[in-house]
Amino acid sequence: MRRTAYATALLLLAGACQAEIGDECDYDIECSSAGDRNCDRGQPDGYCLIIGCDPDSCPEEAVCVEFLTPCPEGTEEDLCRQIEPNRGRSYCLKHCGSGEDCRSGYACTDPYDLYATIIDLAPEGSRICVPDV
């Protein structure tokens, strides 16, 4: 009985202390006990994010960023969108004003440098925290 109460208390505390977008992680559950955030373990020390966001749908510390798969060389953009309409992938990523807003090992970068665009209609910021390579 005590173990059940202890486990319940831990789950309640975990839910109350949800990680922010951009925090380090090893597992999805560390980003959100509700399962609405993911841990990108491909980033240094992990990166809490939301996959598949819509404009202005991210938490306040984040912006919705769309990354487009480049068109094959020599293909016009309009034709490329007709051939592959689902080229874009969107993610909630931590916004920043300077490198001091990002955790160690991450830099405050203009998404255009990464062939990405902030798609929020009223973005909180114009730069994002990404690995400093």
Number of independent structural domains in the chain:
1
User: pLDDT value at position 86?
Assistant: 57
The residue assigned the tokens 């255009």 is: 112
Q: Tell me the residue range of the domain where 79 lies.
A: 2-131
pTM above 0.75, yes or no: yes
Q: Cβ(67)–Cβ(95) under 8 Å?
A: no
- 63-94 pLDDT per residue, tens: 999 987 767 677 676 676 665 555 678 999 99
